Structure 1
Amino acid sequence: MSAKAKICGVSTPEAVQAAVDGGAAFLGFMFFPKSPRDIAPEAAGRLAPPARAKGVKVVAVTVDPTDAEVDAIVAGLSPDLIQLHGKESPARVREVGQRSGRGIVKVLSVSDASDFTPAASYEPVVEHLMFDTKPPKDADRPGGLGAAFDWTLLEGRRFKRPWFLAGGLNPWNVADAIAQAGAPLVDVSSGVERGPGLKDPALITAFLDAVRRA
C-alpha cells in the first residue's frame, strides 16, 4: 500500500488547490505566531472547503495550545484533527481531544532511538503519531525547520497507531525516506516552499507525485 501525504502550513488558495488536485490525504493549517506559516482560524476556515469537498482531512497544527486557543480553532476551522507539536503530556493530549471532540496527532521529536520510547504512553490518547526532527536547543519553534533525522531509526518499528514521518522531506528525498523508514504517512512543509512560508504549487505537485510513485 502506498504512503499518504500531508501538506502542512498552507495559507493560500493556490497551495490548497495544488494539494487537493495532487492527491494529498491531509491538509495542515498552522496556528503558532512564531511560524512564518501562521494563519488565523477564520482565514483557515475560508480556505478549507476545497479540501473537505474531496475528503481531505483538515488538520489544525498547534504548539502547547491553551483551552481558549483550542476553542477558537474549533470555532473558526472545525478541523478533523488537531496536531500537538509542543511539550503536551499524555494527560493534556487527552484533555485537548475531549475538549475539542477531534482526533489528535501527537508529534514526538527524534534524534536517537530513545526518543521513540514515549510513543507508548501517547498511543492510547491519539489517532496518529508523528515523528519529526528534534530542533536545535536555540530554535524558536519545534518544527518546520527543514532538517531530517536518521530515517533508518524507524526501520522495523511497530506502533499501535498510524504514524507520520516528518522533518526535512522534499520532492527529491521523500521516496528514499519512505523506503528507509517504512512510513505509511509523510508530512511536508518547508520542503515545498520557495521561501519561508511561501508554498510553491509546483513543488507540492512534485512532492505528491513522488509519494505516489514511491
Structure 2
Amino acid sequence: MKNIVILPARGGSKRLPNKNSMLLEGIPLLVHSIAYAKNNRDIIDEIYVSTDDAEIKKIALDHGVQVIDRPEHISGDLEPTITALQHVLESIENNVTNVIVLQPTNPLRPENLLKEAFAKFINNRSSSLFTVSRNHHKLGTIVQDCFVPINYKSGQRTQDLNPLYFENGLLYICDAKQIKKGIIMDKNSFPYLVNHVFANVDIDTQDDFEYAAYLLNKKTTL
C-alpha cells in the first residue's frame, strides 16, 4: 500500500495575495503543512506539492518535497481541486493506493489527527474521509426579506439546536482510484468529527492569517 500527500498550492490569490508563501510565525504558510506531513512518515510514503508558482516551487524543493508543475489551464480561480489531484496522479507512477490532501490554508492541525483519521479510514473501508466540525450557531436563510431559521425554532436555547456540521478542510483521505474518476467526496464519504479550535482556521483573508498566528503563538507559549 502506497500513501501519498498532495498539497495543492497555486500562486494566485485575490483576497490575500501570495498567501501560500507568506510567513506565519517566521515560516512560509505552505511549510506548516509540509512539516505536518513529514511528522507522519509512518503513514506517508511521498509528499507532493502541486503549484504553478515559481516561489512556491522553490520553497517546496528547499524543504525536501517533490513538486508537480501545474499547467496554466488548471490553475485558475474557478478550477476545482480535483483536477490538480488528478494531474499529480497522472504525472507520477500509478501504484498509489491512497491520497491524503493537506490544504496549506489550514496550517494548524491537532498532532494526532492524521494517525487517528487514517486508522478510521482503513478500518471503515470508506472510499474517502473528510473532517467536519459541529456548528453551534443559530442558522437561517433570508427569503423575501424575512429570516427563516434552519436549525432551530424561535426561542429555542442554543444548547438545544438541531446539530449541523461544516466541512473544515483540515484533511481529506481518498482512494486514488476514486480521484482518477474525478471524485473526492460522495454520499458515502466518512465525515470524521474534529472538535478543536484549529478547525476554525482556514486562511483566506488577512484577519484569518492573524488569527492563525495568534493560535500558533498561544500554542508555542503554553
- Taking structure 1 as the reference length, the TM-score comes to 0.31
The structure carrying a bigger helix percent of its residues is: 1
